[in-house]
Structure 1
């Protein structure tokens, strides 16, 4: 294992530092916005702008990396990303915050692109599975730690924003000082949404659904928890519970999906998500903290694992040469949903209250479950090239691209 990790240790270290800082910032922004009495629709819009910037970064990032190289691109994007938290602290203005969140989304799309393409090039068919498992552990552990660091100081103060900036800056050091050779230039990829939809309607729409439902959770979940009576510590535990739910459920769900038509698992996860969302609404009404945490954990188990199964289902129908193009299309579908979801959910909260965040998500999951049932009844399974499931990080930041899929040949 040491021989597997050693060539990419600096990359994993940079990933960990970045995710701790970005995980902290992602929860800190809505809490501070709530303290500053931003309207819920404003908070939702700010979250949508983050994902719009992220989508732009996914499209434009390869051009930047091809022009400047991996290390210089990483340094430039990291420096810009480190500026944003400081601007949030210095200028409490919704327009400035939206611009900075868009900048953060753009930068982090490029940063993750550099790290993941680099890790993949250092991996071989013999080590990719183990390396990917380590990468997942780093992701989950770092996101969890970022949530818990919210308790280190008051969100109303400068301290936590400065800490986010410091962590982002520190992540530049392992990459800048690495002795590992840079990977080959990123190849351009043609994105054909229509072709992927014809290949797997359930898989593509599933990724859109994940964007529509999970992005409001990442953007407005802290506001929901705080409005439900939790203090800052309780909010951090609520977000941590959801992340742990997603982490714990990934591999068991993947193993089951390898043994049957993945659409059955997608259907189960969609319906389970709707039940968990109803549980969150009920727990809010009852006002018991442990019920909120339990419902949050169950939401993580179902909703935060749906993306991985949708990606696996889509790739079941594709040849290895199509993995990169398919991933780009699925990522774009997710990003479109993530841009629309937070703002759409926040608009409903003005009339129906904070519970609408999960009413909105439950309605979408139920509609998607109905669509999946129709497809199961009218379309054949058609998975003759079925491959093994590979767990993926749920897209709080971005889904892991198929360059890290253990089924892909070097």
Structure 2
């Protein structure tokens, strides 16, 4: 617990990032719809975020290696602040697509640096506690950011400025922390072939979740707006879905520790598919029916990715967790990038409720795939499984999240250090001697 108290500043920095990110993501979708952006343009804004986030997860470790953690974090948060303010100054779809990609890149880098610091102070005894607190804080802060839109509204400059303030304030706790300079960040270890050989259903789950949840996260606010909800109603709609999705992770995760995880995936994805079909058939107006359907979707869809990661880890060999996780992230990112484009085309050509045709199709395909795989391959005995761990928003998971995950083996972490050596001129320096710490904290 002492280590948790020691790093409260990092938790605060992460919370401010997630608050700003939650507000910005929801704000751009709703404000873009109000400005008359086409549904395709709104989908491309979500695609831009995903592309930038994946690119940041892969390339930011090289930036940190050259500039140091504190200076790199300050640069990421500063660019993120500038980006959301430029969203206010340049209100057009092309600018927002480009800026959203830049925002995703910066957000990935900033989150990875915070997670790297958390991993530095975590040991085998405290890793699970730190990881759980970190995930809980991120979920709560992101939801509060979305709820904040119900107070600020979407008109004018106030919501953009509040988001910018949150990003700027996130610099302060990290710059002032007394925690030691962390080890080098991990680059995403990509081995899709290894992932598919280890667990085909996990690979398919990552893509399906990316397609469905990427579409939902980007375009569901547009659907709500076009069905008559105001900014306050949309914020509440997403808060309910997020909260129930977070709550559902624990019972379904623990259930997956006791029975075949594919049964849990079949149940969750099947139920999410049914919710999508019901939404298409009912196509509710603004009111309690829409809130019930969105709540049911969040409850069923949000835990799927964490269960899929646990399932893949059950079959992974010692030392393969990081590579498996990296492959999952890449496939998830591809789905997150493609999903909003596909959904926006269907929504534009047919009807806004076409969004849920996409989510129902991919969740249904996952349920069928998991069922077929159960007939081919036996499950791992419950006693031999790695314990389930809740995860944050699947659109904001970085390679460092998996390094912090208590399921990561020691050789995974050692591999990370071996593959990204500390620059020779910084080796062996403490915080007072390290120019990165001195210069970055100014």
- The reply to whether residue 375 of structure 1 matches residue 373 of structure 2 is yes
Instruction: Answer with 163-172 or 366-375: which moved more.
Output: 366-375
Query: What's the CA shift string for 1:380-402, capped at 9, x where partnerless?
Result: 22468421101111313236732
Structure 2 equivalent of residue 291 of structure 1:
289
Structure 1 equivalent of residue 208 of structure 2:
209
- Partners of 1:24 and 1:187 in 2: how far apart? 28
- Partners of 1:118 and 1:326 in 2: how far apart? 22
Report if the CA contact (8 A) 1:212-1:337 is conserved. Answer: yes
- 1:57: how far off? 0.6
Instruction: Answer with 90-99 or 129-138: which moved more.
Output: 129-138
- Partners of 1:357 and 1:288 in 2: how far apart? 16
Report if the CA contact (8 A) 2:113-2:185 is conserved. Answer: no
- Partners of 2:267 and 2:164 in 1: how far apart? 40
Instruction: Answer with 152-161 or 335-344: which moved more.
Output: 152-161
Structure 2 equivalent of residue 78 of structure 1:
77
Structure 2 equivalent of residue 57 of structure 1:
56
Structure 2 equivalent of residue 255 of structure 1:
254
Structure 2 equivalent of residue 402 of structure 1:
402
Query: What's the CA shift string for 1:251-275, capped at 9, x where partnerless?
Result: 0011100001111111111101112
Structure 2 equivalent of residue 180 of structure 1:
179
- 1:227: how far off? 1.2
Structure 1 equivalent of residue 350 of structure 2:
352
Report if the CA contact (8 A) 1:12-1:135 is conserved. Answer: yes
- Partners of 2:329 and 2:195 in 1: how far apart? 12
- The number of residues matched between the two structures is 408
Structure 1 equivalent of residue 425 of structure 2:
none
- The reply to whether residue 101 of structure 1 matches residue 100 of structure 2 is yes
Report if the CA contact (8 A) 1:273-1:303 is conserved. Answer: yes
For the structure 1 residues 281 and 238, does the alpha-carbon distance in structure 2 shift closer, same or farther, using more than 3 Å as the test? Answer: farther
- 1:284: how far off? 3.2
- The reply to whether residue 340 of structure 1 matches residue 335 of structure 2 is no
- 1:301: how far off? 1.1
Structure 1 equivalent of residue 323 of structure 2:
325
For the structure 1 residues 244 and 283, does the alpha-carbon distance in structure 2 shift closer, same or farther, using more than 3 Å as the test? Answer: farther
- Partners of 1:43 and 1:216 in 2: how far apart? 10
- Partners of 2:88 and 2:163 in 1: how far apart? 11
- 1:320: how far off? 4.0
TM-score by length of 2: 0.89
For the structure 1 residues 173 and 313, does the alpha-carbon distance in structure 2 shift closer, same or farther, using more than 3 Å as the test? Answer: same
Report if the CA contact (8 A) 1:245-1:299 is conserved. Answer: no
- Partners of 1:136 and 1:195 in 2: how far apart? 27
Report if the CA contact (8 A) 1:62-1:188 is conserved. Answer: yes
Superposed, 1:71-150 pairs within 5 Å as 71-150=70-149
Structure 2 equivalent of residue 191 of structure 1:
190
- Partners of 1:22 and 1:214 in 2: how far apart? 16
Q: Structure 1 unaligned runs (5+)?
A: none
Query: What's the CA shift string for 1:90-133, capped at 9, x where partnerless?
Result: 11111111110000011111111111121122111111122222
For the structure 1 residues 246 and 35, does the alpha-carbon distance in structure 2 shift closer, same or farther, using more than 3 Å as the test? Answer: same
Structure 1 equivalent of residue 269 of structure 2:
270
- Partners of 2:98 and 2:408 in 1: how far apart? 37
